[in-house]
Every structure is written in structure tokens, then in C-alpha cells.
Amino acid sequence: MSVTTQSPAPAVDPGKAAGTRLVDRVFKMRELAILLVFLVMIGITQAGNSEFLSEQGIKDLLLNATILVLVATGQALVVITRNVDLSVGSTLGISAFAAGNYLQGGGNSTVAILLAVALGVGCGLLNGALVSLGQVPALVVTLGTLYIIRGIDSIWVGSRQITASDLPDGFVDFGSGGISAVPYLALIALAVLVVVAYYLRHFGGGRELYALGSNPEAARLAGIPVRKRILAAYTACGALAGLAGALYLARFGNVDSATGNGYELTVVSAVVVGGVVFTGGSGSVYGAALGALLLTSINSVLPALGVSSVWVLAINGVLLVLAIAVDRIVALRVADALKKRNARHG
Amino acid sequence: MREPPVLAVQGLSKSFGAVRALHDVSLELYAGEAHALAGENGAGKSTLIKTLAGVHRPDAGELTLDGSPVVFHGPGDARDAGVAVIYQEPTLFPDLSVAENIFMGRQPRRSLGRVDHKAVHAAADALFKRLAVDLDPEQPARGLSIADQQIVEIAKALSFDARVLIMDEPTAALTGSEVARLFGVVRTLREQGAAVLFISHRLEEIFELCQRVTTLRDGGLIASEPLEGLTEDDLVRRMVGRDLDELYPKQDTEVGEVALSVRRLTREGVFTDVSFDVRRGEIVGLAGLVGAGRSEVARAVFGVDRWDAGTVEVQGKALLNGAPSTAMAAGLALVPEDRRAQGLVMDMSIERNIGLTGLRTTVRAGLMDRGAERSRSLDWAVRLQVKYARIADAVGTLSGGNQQKVVLAKWLATKPQVLIVDEPTRGIDVGTKAEVHRLLSELAAEGVAVLMISSDLPEILGMADRVLVMHEGRLTAEIPRARATEESVMAAATGRTA
């Protein structure tokens, strides 16, 4: 600012443009970096085991990632608003069982999926209402609903179990079928991902989610319906967890009262590894999806390389800490660059 | 008869808990008129503005828009009615681009209700051209200087052709020529029929820009009148309600040896090459604009933040970098700027809050000595005349002024040799303000070295033996009491070398 009024020879533009470019680059880089890590990992695995990227191999990779991608997409919506939904695992579990229970009685597959989504919407509304109206920290509220939903699920399901043989053949085929190496389920997840990403980028409501995560007080002053947006984010997150439940049923055909137990932590890891900042306002659903792809692929990569799968958890943890460390370092660097730029101009 | 006011309030009252922020205040804003809102810190100006902006709902009173009653259910309603507010503290979204910040919530749309990013960019560009500033619309708001953030706020208000433009100290962080340009823009808007409500602590700006003035004191309406025929002294008398000398009871003191010595202190990107001394018995004012790095220097000196280069000595003893406990042991105390976030534990009792600084000293056999803690806290609460029902009451139940006294008590209880106070009277009422000033003066008389950071110029001028001025991270002036005037301090604070 002061440049235009004070310095006689404003050598501003190069510095400012460089600052802007730097920031742009860093944010684009975040997704690219995950993609790169993913590709390198796949490349190394393929070099060590040429069977890895067979048609079935690719299909397995995609199928494994599908459900996590869906739930992570929903979670990213919530995390962008500076909140979190820990109940997604429970929502997924109860939705999967509800869909299975309905199909077991000879129901229609489409209706079963809609049922699961509707149940997810209900759970999301509950979370959203508690967080936005109750003004209680999301971490605590959704920890509560995690147990509540899991508890209801346990009482309802008891020791019952749904297996693939209880389900209509069409539903099971849908769960495992696909167009050459690309499973139907992955296509659904991709479609959802693209729609959500487009909404976040190109619609007022989507931009407002970023705004209220970036500075809640400023969002309120800008007249953004903060509660409504948070409620919407949670509802969408619940809906996607419900959809993921139905797809889980189609993929594995096996659901009991423990389905989805502890899943929320994997989801949150995927979102954070994917560069969605936990303090809100920044990140993308593409990043979250890439994070999900990366985490699930490790499960396939290690056996293919002959490494024991007991390493999976430890490696996931290292990735998570690494992602946060990288974010922190990048943030400090960017802040530094911007400050120096301002100092130069001041 | 003139047209009905664009926006008016009648009989407005608003309380927060036990604190009465506004009582029976009325105000009328007319098209084509710039209206000044005068009053001391804590007089209720911000509350009034937030009520006009739809942020607060009044407890009593009525708002009228073009003569008909209106209720703002939120900031969005006020905005839709054409009321734009530029707040003292810029309210931007750090993660979003400057252009998005301006149009958030009402972006130009294309088919299917999608945001037209190109139009947003172009419109932001056009606004910056109109304001004659050089800002990149795609730049993220994070990292903008305060002055740039303020410009973005002004562009935001301009972007919806506001009929009512409310500005809460918009000039506090601007340089002289930036102020002139802003006033140019505001005059144009006013001539086009906008009603302007303007707040500034610089009285000359009020006289320069405005036609009417409304003065508040302690939440009540003192006067609403044309500015013509009034003098600055008239305004000050209405604002303060007493003579200035009484508000700033500065005693002459015996200045002793150097108690705090800061040499070439630098924290990269925050402040650079800061050197100064504070002597026993002296009150040194540290003035400057918001964001000049004053609080940051204080935090570094006390050891809350680390410094990159330089030295700090208290009574000849060098302090360690980033170690508040050694600073406290050396006799340094810091009363922070934000008492809610940094000074007090709101849910804890007065007794316990004051006791916090004595956790290492009021100990018997390794356990807290509750009796000693209570008597130490009571002693200081009484000496500072904190008004409370019971010493075991939570600090959060006290008024702002009394909370500030508790923070002071907490630090005075450590019997400091060097006391750094950061905005000691922000947001507290006039009476308490005078008490705080008297207290600081007495401490100096007892030989304590006091460094007082304040954005309140009359306070700096009224209390300080010497005034240090910072501008964008550097000390730009050291002015002795005799030569310190609003002009000389502001010149140094805005980087115009006097």
C-alpha cells in the first residue's frame, strides 16, 4: 500500500507477483506432491513385482480406495469449515446394515442405496444440529454421536450378520463388476468427487464453507448463514458416509455390528494427509481423495513387496505426521516470504 | 422539512451481562451528510455500530430505515439494506484471495447460480483502480499489511454501493496521504447521497470530514449537534466530562538509574534494531499504529516470543532469550494487551487469578499455601480498589475495568522493578481509566520503571515522561515530554519524519 504513496520508484510488481506465485504454487503443489508419492510408490512396487498392476491388481487398488474416498470427501467438507465428524464410521456401519437388512427381505437395490443415504443424512443432520445450534466443540459432540450411533447399531443388529448369500445377485455383481479394470463403485466415487469439487469451487455455498473455516467471525459479519452452512456440510458428510455404507455392503457383502468400527480415524488421516488443513479454510476434496488412495494403496503395496502387513499402521502414522510437518514447514516458509515481501515494501 | 433519515435509532439500550454498554442512545444519519461518532474508548461506540450493522440485537429501542421501522436479524440484513461497515480490526478470510474476500456472500453469478470467477476478478480490479491502489485480486489475504487489509475492507464496502457507510477508526493504520485519498473517496460517496458515520480518535479528522457529531460517554448520549461552531476543546469536554489534568494525574518523579535496557533487538519480519532504556521512576510511552510491532517487542522482552538478535538487560542482568520465568525472576512484569485471552483465566476466581503469579512463592512444604495466597490476593485487590462481591467470584463476572485491575494486581503482586503495560486502559470506563493512570504514576514515584504501550494518544501525552514511537517494526522517534504533541507523535508513527 504505502508503496504507491511513498516510494518514488515503485519496484513493487516483481516482488508481489513472486509472492502470489509462490503461494499459488505451494497450494497446487500439495496435491501434486501426494500424487507424486503415490505414483513413485506404485512404480517401485510394479518394478519389484510385475504382477502388481495386472487388470485385477488395478481393480483391487481402486475398489479398496473407493469407500475411503467417498467418506473422506464428506469429511473434507466438514474439516474445511474448521469442524470434524468422528461419527462417520458408525454412520457407515448402521447404513450398511440397514441396506443389507432391507435387501435380505427381498428389497430393491436402488431403494436400498437410497435408504442407506437417507439414514446417513439423518445422522449428519443430528451432528450438524448439535454442532451449529449447540455451539459445542465438534470433536466432543461427534465423539458422543459416534458412541450413540454405534450403540443403537449394536442393540439393533445384536449378533446378527449379513452375508453375500443373503443379498440379491444383481447387487453383489454390481459391487464387484466394472468396465474393464474400472469398478462401477469407483466410478460412483469419482462422480461424487467431481461434483463436490465443482460445487466447492464454483458455487457460492462452496466458497462460503472455505470462508467460514478461514475466519468464522468474519463470515458472520459478511452475512454468511454460518449455522446453515455447517449443518449442510455435516448433512453432506453423513449422506456420503451412508452411501459409502451401501457400497461397502455391495463390495464385501458382509456386515455386522462392528462394521466401520474405528474407521473415522482412517478417514481423518486420509483427509489430513491429503492436505486439508485441520484448522479449516484450506485444502481440496481432490487432495482428500488422493490421501485416501495413498493410504489404502499401502495396504496392497506392502504384501506385493513381501513386507508384512503389520507395518501398515506404522507407515500410515508416519505419513500422517509427515504430512502435518510438511504443512507446518510450508506455512512458515510462506509466512516468511510474505512478511519479507511486505517488509521490502514498507 | 428534510427527508427522513436514511438510518436512525431511537432510545437504543444494550447490555452484556451486568455491563450496560448503551443506554437510551438516539442517532440519525442523513443522506449526503458525514456524521462523526465521538467518545472515549469504552464509551459504547463499537456497540452502537454493531447494532446498526445487525451484529447485536438491541435490548430496547427502534431502528428506522427511510423513516420506517426495521429489524436487522443479522449482518446480512443490514448489508442488504445498504449498510456497509468497515471495522477497526479488518475481518478478512486469510485463506481466500483478495477478490473473493471482497465479494464473499454476493459474488456475481453466471448460469445455474455458479460463481463467475472472471467477473469477481474484474470487479475487484476495477475497485482497486477506483481507489488507485496496486493490489493483485488473486493474492491471498494472508500476509497483507494492516493498511492493505483496510483497503480491501473499503473496497468491500464500495462494492455494494452502500447508502450508509460506517467506518470504525478506518484511518488508525493509514499514512497521511492514504487518509487524504480515503477522505476523497468518502466525500465522493457522500456527494452521491450516501450517509456516512465516522469514528476517529483524531479530532482534526472529524472536523475535516464531518458535518454533525454525536458524543457518547459511558454508554449514554451526551449530545448530537452540528459541528459548525464547535471547537476541539468542546468535543473533548463532552467526551471526557472532566478536565484532562484529572484524567492524567502524572506526578513528577525522581528519575534513577537504568532499569531496563534493550539493545538492537530484532525479530525477523516483525521488528528490527530496537534499542531503548527505561529508568527507575520513569514512565516511557511506546506509541505507534496498530501493527507497528509494539506488543511484539514487549512480548520478546518478556520472553514470551524469541528474538533473533540483540540483548535485553534488567538492572544490569542479561535476560535469556525466550524465558519468561527468568524475566519474572529479574523483576520484570508484563500486563498483556488482551486481558481476556492472555491476562486472565475467566472461569477462575479473583483470588486464584491474582495468585497465579505467586505459584512459586506462596508455597509451604511443596504445597500451595492457600492462606498465604488468599491474603496476598486480598491485599492487592483492596489496594487497587477492585469492585467485587466476593474474592472467590469468577473474574468473568467483573466489568472490563475491574478485570483490568485484577490483571494489574496479578502482576503488581510480583513486586516488579520493571513493569510493561500493553494498552492498560483499552475498553475500560473513564473513572477506572483515571485510577489506572494514578496507579501507574504512583508506581513510578516508588521507583518502578514503567513502559506503557498505548494507542490512545492523549494517554501517551498525558502520562509519559518520554515517548518512543514505532513505525513498521522500527523505532522512529524518541520525543521528550516537553516536545511531545499529537502531531509530532503521529508524524513519527505514520513514517513521516518530522
Residue of B nearest to A221 (CA): B75
Number of separate domains in chain A: 1
Instruction: Determine what percent of chain A is predicted with pLDDT higher than 90.
Output: 56
CB atoms within 10 A of CB B461: 22
Please list every residue in chain A whose beta carbon sits closer than 8 Å to the beta carbon of residue B175.
Answer: 2, 5-6
Q: What is the pLDDT of residue B389?
A: 78
Q: B11 and B73, same structural domain?
A: yes
What range defines the domain where residue B324 resides? Answer: 246-493
The pLDDT confidence band at residue A341, using thresholds 50, 70 and 90, is: low
Q: B476 and B372, same structural domain?
A: yes
Contact (CB, 8 A) for A116 and A243: yes
State the average pLDDT for chain A: 86
pLDDT in tens, B344-393: 888 888 888 888 887 777 777 778 788 888 888 888 888 888 877 788 88
Q: B69 and B181, same structural domain?
A: yes
The CATH number given to whatever domain includes residue A250 is: 1.10.3470
Q: What is the pLDDT of residue B173?
A: 65
Give the whole-angstrom CA distance, residue B280 versus residue B275. 17
Q: Does A275 touch chain B (CB under 8 A)?
A: no
Q: What is the pLDDT of residue B149?
A: 83
Q: Does A339 touch chain B (CB under 8 A)?
A: yes
B195, B210, B241 - which closes a domain: B241
Residue B104 lies in a domain: no
Cell of B395: 473474574
Contact (CB, 8 A) for A229 and A205: yes
Residue A4 lies in a domain: no
Asked if A4 and B134 come within 8 Å (Cβ–Cβ), the reply is yes
State the average pLDDT for chain B: 85
Residue of B nearest to A5 (CA): B177
The pLDDT confidence band at residue B297, using thresholds 50, 70 and 90, is: very high
Contact (CB, 8 A) for A17 and A341: no
Number of separate domains in chain B: 2
Asked if B105 and A338 come within 8 Å (Cβ–Cβ), the reply is no
Instruction: Determine what percent of chain A is predicted with pLDDT higher than 70.
Output: 89
In the predicted model, what is the mean pLDDT of residues A32-40?
Answer: 87
Asked if B91 and A218 come within 8 Å (Cβ–Cβ), the reply is yes
Interface with A, mutate which of B73, B86, B95, B102 (most A CBs under 10 A): B95
Structural element, H or E, at residue A176:
helix A169-176
Largest Cα–Cα distance in chain B? 80
Give A26 or B97, the one with higher predicted confidence. B97
Helix axes A169-176, A184-202, angle to 10 degrees: 70
What range defines the domain where residue A109 resides? Answer: 14-345
Residue A8 lies in a domain: no
Asked if B91 and A222 come within 8 Å (Cβ–Cβ), the reply is yes
Q: B287 and B208, same structural domain?
A: no
Mode of pairing for the β-strands spanning B83-86 and B7-16: unpaired
Asked if B142 and A335 come within 8 Å (Cβ–Cβ), the reply is yes
Asked if B105 and A19 come within 8 Å (Cβ–Cβ), the reply is no
Residue B53 lies in a domain: yes
User: Is the ipTM, as predicted for this complex, more than 0.90?
Assistant: no
First and final C-alpha spacing in chain A: 8
DSSP B96: S
Residue written as cell 428534510? Answer: B2
Q: What is the pLDDT of residue B187?
A: 87
Asked if A215 and B105 come within 8 Å (Cβ–Cβ), the reply is no
Please list every residue in chain A whose beta carbon sits closer than 8 Å to the beta carbon of residue B94.
Answer: 214-215, 281
Q: B250 and B237, same structural domain?
A: no
Q: What is the pLDDT of residue A338?
A: 67
In the predicted model, what is the mean pLDDT of residues A250-259?
Answer: 93
Q: Does B273 touch chain A (CB under 8 A)?
A: no
Among the partner residues B109, B136, B147, nearest to A1 by beta-carbon distance: B147
Q: What is the pLDDT of residue A232?
A: 96
The pLDDT confidence band at residue B242, using thresholds 50, 70 and 90, is: low
CB atoms within 10 A of CB B149: 22
Q: Does A24 touch chain B (CB under 8 A)?
A: yes
Q: B339 and B194, same structural domain?
A: no
The CATH number given to whatever domain includes residue B293 is: 3.40.50.300
Q: B237 and B346, same structural domain?
A: no
Q: What is the pLDDT of residue B189?
A: 80
Q: B13 and B59, same structural domain?
A: yes
Residue B105 lies in a domain: no
Asked if B91 and A221 come within 8 Å (Cβ–Cβ), the reply is yes
Structural element, H or E, at residue B128:
helix B117-130
Asked if A218 and B93 come within 8 Å (Cβ–Cβ), the reply is yes
DSSP B113: G
B207, B241, B275 - which closes a domain: B241
Give the whole-angstrom CA distance, residue B43 versus residue B38. 9
Coil/strand/helix, residue B16: strand
Q: B258 and B218, same structural domain?
A: no
Q: B305 and B402, same structural domain?
A: yes
First and final C-alpha spacing in chain B: 48
B241, B263, B286 - which closes a domain: B241
Residue of B nearest to A337 (CA): B143
Instruction: Determine what percent of chain B is predicted with pLDDT higher than 90.
Output: 32
Give the whole-angstrom CA distance, residue A204 versus residue A216. 16
Residue B112 lies in a domain: no
Q: B250 and B222, same structural domain?
A: no
**Which residues contact residue A325 at a Cβ distance below 8 angstroms, ignoring those fewer than 6 apart?**
none
Q: How many residues make up chain A in this entry?
A: 346
Give the whole-angstrom CA distance, residue B89 versus residue B150. 8
Instruction: Determine what percent of chain B is predicted with pLDDT higher than 70.
Output: 95
Residue B329 lies in a domain: yes
Cell of A8: 518514488
Please list every residue in chain B whose beta carbon sits closer than 8 Å to the beta carbon of residue A221.
Answer: 53, 55, 75, 85, 87, 91
Q: B305 and B368, same structural domain?
A: yes
Q: Does B17 touch chain A (CB under 8 A)?
A: no
Helices and strands of chain B, counted as H and E runs: 17, 22
Please list every residue in chain A whose beta carbon sits closer than 8 Å to the beta carbon of residue B496.
Answer: none
CB atoms within 10 A of CB A25: 12
Q: Give the count of Cβ contacts less than 8 A between chain A and B.
A: 136
